[in-house]
Amino acid sequence: MMRRPLSLPAFFMPVTRRLRTIGLLLPALAGLALLAGGVGFRVSEGMGLAALQETGHHRLDLYAGSLEREIDKYAYFPATLGLERDVLDLVSGRAPLAWGLNRYLERLNERAGTLSIYVLNRQGRVLAASNWNRPDSFIGEDLSYRPYFVEAAAGRQGRFFGVGTTRGEAGYYLSAPLSEDGAIVGVAVVKVSLEQLEQGWSTVEAPVLVTDENGVVILASVPSWKFTTLRPMDEPTRRHFDQTLQYNARPLPPLGLTPVSRIAEDAELVRLPRPPGGQLEETVFPVSGGFLAQTAPLHGTGWTMTVLSPVAQVTGMAWTRAALAAVGSAFLGILLLMWMQRRRHLHDLERKVEERTRTLRAAQDELVHAGKLAVIGQLSAGLAHELNQPLAALRTLSGNSVKFLQRGNLEAAQGNLERIAALVDAMGALTSQLKSFARKSSGAPRPVAVRRPIDNALFLLDQRLRRSGVAVHLDVPEEVTALCDPNRLEQVLVNLVANGLDALAGREDGRLALTARTEDGRVRIDVADNGPGLSADVLPRLFEPFFTTKEGAKEGGGGLGLGLAISAGIVRDFGGALTGANGPDGGAVFTIDLPAATPPTDPSATLAAVQAGDLICPTLPSPP
């Protein structure tokens, strides 16, 4: 096939196509990376939040438990004051204020580590207090408006977080009714500080806060969060606070906690703004940004505890993983593309190879066809040449014979007719050679002891051998067995021996040696003579049909140049090869190489082979 030079547009075509492919692939790759990144982010964030939720839960349990225990410690404290005779006497108005009682309360307060302990009468006026000797003592104050008094005066336990009205000190008020003979005669109050607990919280890694029933932050691990509100407060509520002085008229600004999304019943993602004016508190945890807020009610109070776990780390990790997933998927995508490209390339190559093979096969078929035609041409030319001469001779001889007969010269006519008969015989010999050229292998190859066809061939040529005086040397062991057809092998051997005799014609010391041996699973039969050998121009054309160096027709149709061509074909049919070479001491050596046969192991088959004459001296298998 001719290669045409590529035109310029054709040269640029693959480049533009490639660019177009890249233009399509790049967005696809980017899309894949984005998708993988997105999925990676979501999965990582989900896992991180789940882990955060788990630790948040533990923290919540821990802190809530400690707070509840702290409050429970004082739960029955106020009620126990009702067991004191002096207290009951005082609130019921039976005895005047005894300074001993004040001192008793003071000592009790010190021991219990509470902020203050005081006793009120039925009207809400403070009669005795632990801080009796301080300038800001409650004694004499009317606290009937305080919710803890209202509750206890109604016979219930009062629980109230508030800011003290005199000193502005925040604390937890626990109150209990003081009753005598079933009637409420006064109220006992204990004020507890929860500051210590709060201080303990500030050292942990997540901020904690406690809101009361009004949504006001009353405890927080970040001091500035205290007395802020989680939800905006309406006017009536604010007015109510002003009345009860629960937070001692503090402004209660909103904390600014904004919900982002709820991820569970008790867990929500929230955001906290940066503290105004950039004032940053000394905390071990972040106080602004994204948080996972988890809440739990505190038993025995109307309060709610909230743990805020910072999500920055989770988000950071999710971003890293998303980036990794994106890069990884892009890399995989590129690998996949490269692999696909390679496959396509290989596919193209395969297709090209297939195409070339097809073209070559067609060319080969053409060549074979042409070769066949050439052989037929050669054959026809050879035949025409071989037949034309005797035909012309026949024409002349027959014409002459007619003339001789007309003249009555019978002797000359008879001579001509005899020559005509000889010519017809020679032509018959030629056609018989052609017949054997056309003949295919007659049967499947079978194990044959080569000694038998060799003996037969020598027997056939016995007359010629005797006349030539050539000495035949035979070295063919009887056990040499080849896979072939004995008759056709015999044909080949006759040819080779006849060629040898031709080569030795006119020599006094002519010698022919036939040897056979088995070697590496092959049988080699050598036919060697001590004739002139094969010259350099004969050797390469030895097996060419009609190649001959022999002049004119000889006995047995020799000189046609078909003998070796036919023989080589026969040997090839057996899966062997026929080669010709010069012997070490001059002369030609023709070698028949055949597959060796193992003699049949089945005794009946062996017997049949012996009877057919294929095997001579069988190695009988030993009986089982």
Interacting residues toward ligand ADP by CB under 6 A: 495, 499-500, 503, 529, 531-532, 534, 538, 542, 547-550, 558-561, 563-565, 588
- In whole angstroms, give the CA distance from residue 303 to residue 67: 11
Report in angstroms how near the CB of residue 429 gets to ligand ADP at its nearest.
12
Which of 476, 521, 522, 483 has its CA nearest to residue 497? 476
Report in angstroms how near the CB of residue 450 gets to ligand ADP at its nearest.
19
- DSSP annotation of 216: B
Handedness of CA 160, 161, 165, 167 (dihedral sign): positive
Report in angstroms how near the CB of residue 598 gets to ligand ADP at its nearest.
32
Report in angstroms how near the CB of residue 584 gets to ligand ADP at its nearest.
15
Shorter beta-carbon distance to ligand ADP: residue 41 or 590: 590
Report in angstroms how near the CB of residue 511 gets to ligand ADP at its nearest.
12
Structure-token match 């196509």, residue found = 17
First to last CA, the chain: 66
Q: Quick one: residue 261, left, alpha or beta (phi over 0 = left, psi -120 to 50 = alpha)?
A: beta
- In whole angstroms, give the CA distance from residue 377 to residue 256: 109
Residue with the CB atom nearest ligand ADP in the bound state: 563
Report in angstroms how near the CB of residue 589 gets to ligand ADP at its nearest.
9
Shorter beta-carbon distance to ligand ADP: residue 49 or 496: 496
- In whole angstroms, give the CA distance from residue 172 to residue 68: 12
Shorter beta-carbon distance to ligand ADP: residue 124 or 563: 563
Report in angstroms how near the CB of residue 562 gets to ligand ADP at its nearest.
6
Report in angstroms how near the CB of residue 500 gets to ligand ADP at its nearest.
5
Shorter beta-carbon distance to ligand ADP: residue 445 or 500: 500
Q: 268 CB contacts (<8 Å, ≥6 apart)? A: 259, 260, 261, 262, 292, 293, 294
Shorter beta-carbon distance to ligand ADP: residue 178 or 565: 565
SS (H, E, C) 343-390: HHHHHHHHHHHHHHHHHHHHHHHHHHHHHHHHHHHHHHHHHHHHHHHH
Q: 178 CB contacts (<8 Å, ≥6 apart)? A: 81, 82, 87, 88, 91, 119, 184, 185, 186, 187, 188
Structural contact between residues 307 and 293, judged by C-beta atoms closer than 8 angstroms = yes
- In whole angstroms, give the CA distance from residue 121 to residue 188: 9
Report in angstroms how near the CB of residue 434 gets to ligand ADP at its nearest.
13
Shorter beta-carbon distance to ligand ADP: residue 445 or 563: 563
Shorter beta-carbon distance to ligand ADP: residue 217 or 568: 568
Shorter beta-carbon distance to ligand ADP: residue 78 or 563: 563
Shorter beta-carbon distance to ligand ADP: residue 74 or 547: 547
Report in angstroms how near the CB of residue 440 gets to ligand ADP at its nearest.
19
Structural contact between residues 618 and 610, judged by C-beta atoms closer than 8 angstroms = yes
Reported as type and span, the H/E element at residue 174 is strand 170-180
Shorter beta-carbon distance to ligand ADP: residue 103 or 550: 550
- In whole angstroms, give the CA distance from residue 515 to residue 477: 9
Shorter beta-carbon distance to ligand ADP: residue 218 or 562: 562
Report in angstroms how near the CB of residue 594 gets to ligand ADP at its nearest.
19
Structure-token match 């303990």, residue found = 200
Which of 257, 252, 255, 211 has its CA nearest to residue 235? 252
Which of 115, 112, 86 has its CA nearest to residue 99? 86
Q: Bridge partners of 295?
A: 306
